[in-house]
Every structure is written in structure tokens, then in C-alpha cells.
């Protein structure tokens, strides 16, 4: 009876709910957002100068999104290569799962790329609408 009750509530055999499996993704996205926000805040003076010299907010957004996309793409490519290299060594630890599961690798890479784009867009949008005078005065 207890196992039936648990299965109806969405709790797996390991005792963790499906929603709790999202916590690692949340922490990763918070970490990427924090890193990008810190990098953008360090470049506040440069962004202020670009805006003062006539750059449009779209130019600033495109600059920061391009750099974030380049970093995210490089990190994901390196991660996929390392995962492909480590997969044969991990084959002995897996039971009933193929070590080179490309659909899983691809879907994880796409989700991480989407999280990185969102985490890059938010600080880029905030920087693009900042006041250049304040950025130059404070920086």
C-alpha cells in the first residue's frame, strides 16, 4: 500500500520527486547568470563609452550575446568531446544504458545552450538600457 501511495504522489523508488531533479539545472543556470552578470558589470565603463559614442542598445545586446554565445558554444563543444572520450570508460558502471547515447548528449547540449543564451540576454538587456553618463561617472 505504501508503494502505491508513493507512486501516485510522483515519488520515485529512490525517494526523490521528479521536480527535485531540476535542481542541478537551476544551480547551473544561476551560476552562468552570475558569471555573465559579473562580467558585464566589469565592462560597464566600456559599455558606457560605446553608448556615448553612438552605439545603439541593439549593438550592445548583439555584442554581449555574441560573446556569450561563443563562450557557451566552446564550452558545450569541449564538454561533448570530453563526454565522448569518457563514455567508454564509464560503460562498466552503466546498466541497461548505452554509454554513447547521442540523443541524450544532444538534448543536454541544447538545453545548456538555451540556458546560457537566457543567462546572457538578461545582463545584456540591462546593460543596453543603462545610462552612459552614470556608467562613465561611476566607472
pLDDT digits (tens, 9 = 90+) for 69-94: 998 999 999 999 999 899 888 888 88
Most confident of 10-19, 117-126, 130-139: 117-126
Q: What is the per-residue pLDDT for 100? A: 85
**Is there a domain that residue 44 lies in?**
yes
| Cα separation, 97 vs 99, whole angstroms | 6
**Is there a domain that residue 108 lies in?**
yes
| Cα separation, 23 vs 26, whole angstroms | 5
**Is there a domain that residue 21 lies in?**
no
| Cα separation, 81 vs 2, whole angstroms | 44
**Is there a domain that residue 13 lies in?**
no
**Is there a domain that residue 56 lies in?**
yes
What mean pLDDT do residues 117-130 have?
90
Residue 128 belongs to domain spanning? 28-138
In 3D space, the residue among 28, 36, 25, 35 whose CA is nearest the CA of residue 65 turns out to be 36
b/e 122-135 (16+ beta carbons within 10 angstroms → b): ebbeebbebebeeb
- Total domains, the chain: 1
**Is there a domain that residue 19 lies in?**
no
Give residue-wise pLDDT tens across range 44-54.
Answer: 889 989 999 99
**Is there a domain that residue 9 lies in?**
no
**Is there a domain that residue 112 lies in?**
yes
What's the whole-number average pLDDT of the chain?
A: 82
Amino acid at each position: 500500500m505504501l508503494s502505491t501511495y508513493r507512486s501516485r504522489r510522483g515519488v520515485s523508488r529512490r525517494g526523490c520527486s521528479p521536480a527535485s531533479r531540476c535542481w542541478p539545472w537551476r544551480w547551473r543556470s544561476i551560476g552562468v547568470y552570475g558569471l555573465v552578470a559579473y562580467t558585464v558589470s566589469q565592462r560597464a565603463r566600456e559599455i558606457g563609452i560605446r553608448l556615448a559614442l553612438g552605439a545603439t542598445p541593439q549593438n550592445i545586446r548583439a555584442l554581449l550575446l555574441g560573446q556569450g554565445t561563443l563562450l557557451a558554444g566552446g564550452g558545450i563543444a569541449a564538454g561533448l568531446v570530453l563526454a565522448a572520450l569518457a563514455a567508454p570508460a564509464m560503460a562498466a558502471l552503466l546498466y541497461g544504458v548505452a554509454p554513447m547515447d547521442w540523443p541524450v548528449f544532444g538534448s543536454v547540449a541544447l538545453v545548456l545552450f538555451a540556458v546560457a543564451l537566457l543567462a546572457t540576454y538578461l545582463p545584456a538587456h540591462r546593460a543596453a538600457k543603462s545610462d552612459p553618463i552614470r556608467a562613465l561617472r561611476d566607472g
